[in-house]
A and B are shown apart, each in its own frame.
Chain A
Amino acid sequence: MSAVGYASSPVRRRSKTRRIKPTVANVVLLAIAILMLLPVGWLVIQSLLGTGSALRVPPVWVPTHPTTANYRQVDQLIPFFTFLWNSVKITLIVTTGAVATSALAAYAFAKLEFPGKNLLFIVLLCAIMVPNQVTAAPTYVLMHRLGLSTSQVAVWLPGLVNVFGIFLLRQFFRGIPKELEEAGRLDGLSTMGVLFRIVLPLSKHALAALAILVGSATWNDYFWPSIYLTDRHEMTLPVGLITLYGLYHQGSPVVIFAAISMTVVPLLVVFLFAQRAMTESLTMTGFK
C-alpha cells in the first residue's frame, strides 16, 4: 500500500510482483481464516435451506433456493424479541452503572488524598482475581433472602461494581498531567468540576474500552442468568437460546440455527464496523 506513493519504479515493481504472486504462507493463513469462520458459515447457510436440503452429508454449501421458513418459525417457538430486549436492557444498565461507579471511585483513588486510601485500594485489588462463581452459593442465598432470586435485578445489581474497571480507569487517570487540573482549579473549577470538565473528556478512549469490555461480558453471560431467570419472559438471549435448544433439539435443529444466526450475524456486522475500537479495548487492558 505504502509503495503506491513512491515515484521510484523499482519499489513499485516489487510491490506489484508481491500482489501477483501471493506467498504460500499467505494462502495457508487465508485457509485457516476460512476454516475459523466455517462453523458459523455452515450454520447460517443451513438455516436458509428447506427441510429436504438442510443438514445433509455431504453438506449443501450453496443455498440455491433460500427460504425464510425457519426464521418465521423462531418467533412461534420462543419470544425471541423479548429475549433480545431483556439482553439489551440488562446490558445497558450494567454497562452505564459499572462505568459510572468505576469512574467516580477511580478518580478518588487517582487524584484525591484521603486517609485510608492505600488500604482501601489494596482491599479492592484483592478482589480482581476472585471470579464470582466462587461465591455462587452465598450470593444466591443473599438474593433468595432479599426475595430477588427469580428477578432480573439479581442479574444486574452485582454487576454495577466492577473492580477491574476501577483499576483500569485509575491507571488511566493517573496518566493525566497535574498541570491540567491545576489550570482548571485556577479557572475556579471544583473537585467535581475537574472530573467532569477535564478528566472524563480526556479519558473517552478508556471509558469506551471499559464499556465494550463490560458490555460484551454482560451480553454473553450465561452463568447468573441461567440461575435466576426461570420465567421465559425474563430470560436473556443466551439463556433463552439454550431453553429453545433444550425443548426442540430433537425435532428442528434448523430453527435453532435460524435463532443463532439472528444473534451472530448482527454481531459480525457490528464487528466489521467497530473492529478497531473493539479489539483495541481488549488489548489495551494488558498494557497499563
Chain B
Amino acid sequence: MIAQAGRNVAALDAASRRSRTATRARKRREALTAYLLIAPAFLLFLGFIAGPLAGSFALSLFSYDLLNPAHYIGLANYRQLLHDHLALKSLEVTFIFTAASLVLHVIVGLALALSVHRKMPAALRYVLRTAFFFPVLISWAVVSLIAEYTLDPNFGFVTYYLGKIGIHNVGWFTNPHTALGAIIGVDLWHTVGFTFLVLLAGLQAIPRELYEAARVDGAGARRTFFSITLPLLSPSLFFVSVISIIGAFQIFEPVHIITLGGPGDSTESIVQYIYQVGFTQLQMGYAATLGLVLFFILLLVTLVQFGLSKRWVHYDLGD
C-alpha cells in the first residue's frame, strides 16, 4: 500500500514537473516574443528619446560648436544661465504666453462648447463644428503666414476692419506692446477648436437623466451648471489644461517666422531661444543646458497639475 502510494506520488510528481517545465517553456517563449515585439520601439526610444536626454546632461558640461572639438567646461553653462538676461526674459515671455493661452482656451472653448451643446438644426451644428475646428488642421507655418498677412499694416483686412471699429495700430507684430498679445490671439484662433471639440464631447457624455433629476429637484440653471455640468466635465477640463500647457510651453513657429523674438525681446519664447542659441549661434552645450531647464519646468508643472487634479477632477458620478 505504502509502496503503491509512493509510486503514485512519484508519478504525480513527475507529471507535475513535466507540466511545470512545459509551462516554464511556454512562459519563456512568451517572454521572448514580447521582447522581440518591444525591441523596435524600445531601440528607437533609447536612440532618439532616452539617449538624447542623457546626452543633454553630458553636453551641458561642454562647449561645442560642431566645428571644433568639444571641450569640458564644468558648470560654466549653468553659471552663464544665471546671468543671462535673455534666458530669463524668454522664461518670462513663455510663462505669460502659457498663462494667457490656458485661460483663454478654457474660457472660449467652454463658451463655444456650451453654446453648440443645445438643440439646433443638424446642418448648423455641422457648419459650426467644421468652422471652429478647421484652423486646428492647418500647419503652424501656414498659420503664421496667414497671421502676418491678415494683420499687415498696409493691406491686411483684419487691420483694416479693426481700424474701422476704432482699434488703430500701425503694426501688430512690430510694436513691442502688442506683438506678444497678437501671437496669443493667433494661437487662440489656431487651436481653440481642439479645446472646443474635447469639451463638447465631454458635455455630450454627461447622462441626460442627471439634468432631468436636477430639474425635478427644482435646481435652477446656475445650480445645475455648478453642481452637475462643471464637476462631470472636470476630466475633460483637466485633459485640455494639460494639453494646452504643454503645447503653450513649446510655442515656437509664429515667434520664429513672424517676429524672430522681437521687437526687442518682447516675444522671445524659450524654444525660440534654444533654436537661436543652438542653430544660429552653434552653442550646442548651452542649448542643451537650456533644453534641460525647459524639461525640468515641464516635469514640475505636470507633477503639480496631477497633484492638484485630485482636488478638483471627478472621475466618477458619486460625490
Contacts and interface: CB of A to CB of B under 8 A. Distances in A.
Interface of A: 1, 18-19, 25-26, 29-30, 32-34, 36-40, 42-43, 55-59, 100-102, 104-105, 107-109, 112-115, 117, 120, 123-124, 127, 129-142, 144, 157-158, 160-161, 163, 166, 191-192, 216, 219-223, 226-227, 237-239, 241-242, 245, 253, 256-257, 260, 263-264, 267-268, 271-272, 275, 278-279, 282-283, 286-287
B56 A138 contact: yes
A33 B193 CA distance: 11
Nearest to B147: A39
B257 to A, nearest CB: 6
Contacts of A58: 160
Given A43-B146, A138-B59, A163-B49, A105 B292 contact: no
Interface in B6-33: 27, 29-31, 33
Given A222-B141, A271-B137, 20 more contacts: A36-B193, A39-B146, A39-B158, A39-B189, A42-B150, A43-B150, A57-B155, A100-B40, A101-B44, A105-B37, A113-B34, A127-B50, A134-B292, A135-B52, A137-B278, A138-B52, A160-B40, A220-B139, A221-B139, A283-B198
A137 B59 contact: yes
A273 B295 CA distance: 39
A134 B59 contact: no
A223 B253 contact: yes
Interface stretch (B99-107, B114-122, B223-231): B114-122
A136 B291 contact: yes
Closest 4 CB pairs of A and B: A138-B55, A33-B131, A220-B139, A161-B44
Contact of B41 (A101, A117, A130): A101
A264 B140 contact: no
Nearest to B193: A36
A57, A132, A257 — which one has the most chain B CB atoms within 10 A of its CB? A57
B165 interface: no
B189 to A, nearest CB: 7
Contacts of B49: 127, 130, 132, 135, 158, 161, 163
A209 to B, nearest CB: 13
Interface residues of B, number: 99
A33 B142 contact: no
A256 B201 CA distance: 37
B95 interface: no
Interface string B41-65: 1101101111111011011000010
Contacts of B160: 57-59
B250 A131 contact: yes
Contacts of A166: 41
Contact of A30 (B64, B127, B137, B239): B127
B34 A141 contact: no
Contact of B55 (A135, A241, A245): A135
B139 A33 contact: no
B250 A137 contact: no
Given A36-B135, A113-B31, A137-B287, A142 B51 contact: yes
B122 A1 contact: yes
B194 interface: yes
Nearest to A129: B302
Contacts of A124: 41-42, 45
A26 B129 contact: no
Given A30-B128, A127-B50, A142-B52, A134 B137 contact: no
B5 interface: no
Given A134-B53, A227-B279, A33 B295 contact: no
Interface in B262-288: 271, 274-275, 278-279, 284-285, 287-288
